[in-house]
Amino acid sequence: MNRLLTTLLAVVLIGVTAPTQGTATGGLTEFPTGGVRPSDIVAGPDGNLWFTEPGSSRIGSITPNGAVTGFTQGLSADSWPWGITVGPDGNIWFTEWQADQIGR
With CA atoms as reference, report the closest residue to 66 among 32, 28, 43, 24: 32
C-alpha 78/C-alpha 83 separation (Å) is: 15
The answer to whether the CB of 66 falls within 8 A of the CB of 57 is: no
pLDDT truncated to tens, each residue of the chain (104 aa)? 444 334 344 434 333 333 233 233 467 777 777 677 788 999 999 999 999 988 888 899 999 888 889 888 888 888 889 899 999 999 999 998 888 889 88
C-alpha 57/C-alpha 7 separation (Å) is: 21
- DSSP code of 21? G
Q: What is the pTM of this model?
A: 0.69
